Amino acid sequence: MTSRVVKAADGRALAVETYGDPRGRPVFLLHGTPGSRFGPAPRSTVLYRLGVRLIAFDRPGYGDSDRLPGRPVAAAAVDVRTIADEFGLAEFAVLGRSGGGPHALACAALLPGRVRRAAALVSLAPRDASGLDWYAGMTASNVRAYREAERGHHRIADSMEFRSRQIKDDPIRLLKGLAPELPATDRIVVADAGIRRMLQSNFREAFRHNADGWIDDVLAFTADWGFKVGDIAVPTWLWHGADDQFSPVEHSRWLADRIPDATLILEPGAAHFGALRVMTAAMKWAAG
């Protein structure tokens, strides 16, 4: 594991972590919401076996990355290109889980010739997705948060700042709060001691300073993303647990219908956190 700070063209700091084989095939991991560069990922021994150099970074406002107020989802492509240029990477793959899914898709759409493959696990679709009932099947807590975001920053900032301070003090608090809305399959996944430790480190780093990254992610998902998924011209691997209520499965179905070279895998009996179990398979495919 190697830590590094990369400077964006506008002077912002981007906190970057690399894992696995330093000579392996590069794969950018776009973390979930909320999340950080210490989010769930295959162990370094697994990455070495796959021949993968994994690159993770804190999106603006999370961890040690400076905030970019008003950032659209498309802004992730600029930051990934900056980091890739700094590392001397001509080509790479991208993989995003949950809130990282839209950001991985942004890279695939906006960095032609650089992104070779893209994978998005339990991703959202754009808020303005034609023909999609965006809130159908979504858990009540997410519906409340996104509807408040659509009414403006001031409607969500105070409550999310309060929640982030609670989670920073007790990182597992977020999972405890979600427990009543988790289907049985997700409860089994997050009960694993190793996964809980990983999620604790992830959330603690995400809110190291404040809730800015979380707030800006939620605002970005409910605004114009800044690109069209139909412009993605690389092989794209979509995975979704059929019982997901945080990012409903119809979102990935919508994406698969509009991304020209998309492969959609729907897993019966799995839900949102089931994506943690398939990250190694997704990483192997992305690096292939």
Q: Which CATH number fits the domain that encloses residue 219? A: 3.40.50.1820
- For the beta sheet containing 92-97, the strands, ordered from the edge strand earlier in sequence to the opposite edge, are 2-7, 13-20, 52-57, 25-30, 92-97, 115-121, 236-241, 262-267
Residue 168 has pLDDT above 90, yes or no: no
- Would you say 77 and 68 are in contact if contact means Cβ atoms under 8 Å apart? no
Mean pLDDT score of the chain: 93
Region 94-104: mean pLDDT is: 98
Rounded-to-integer distance, Cα 65 and Cα 75, Å? 14
Give the range of the structural domain holding residue 115, as residue numbers without chain letter.
2-287
Instruction: Using the structure block, give the residue that is written with the tokens 């990922």.
Output: 41
- Residue-wise pLDDT for 171-198, tens only, equals 676 667 777 788 888 888 888 888 888 8
Residue 206 has pLDDT above 80, yes or no: yes
Region 111-122: mean pLDDT is: 98
Under DSSP, the state recorded for 95 is E
- Would you say 125 and 255 are in contact if contact means Cβ atoms under 8 Å apart? yes
**CA 9 to chain CA centroid, nearest Å:** 23
Please state whether the peptide bond connecting residue 34 to the residue before it is cis, i.e. omega within 30 degrees of 0: yes
pLDDT value at residue 164:
83
The number of beta carbons lying within 10 Å of the beta carbon of residue 62 is 30
By percentage, how much of the chain surpasses pLDDT 90?
77
Domains identified in the chain, total number: 1
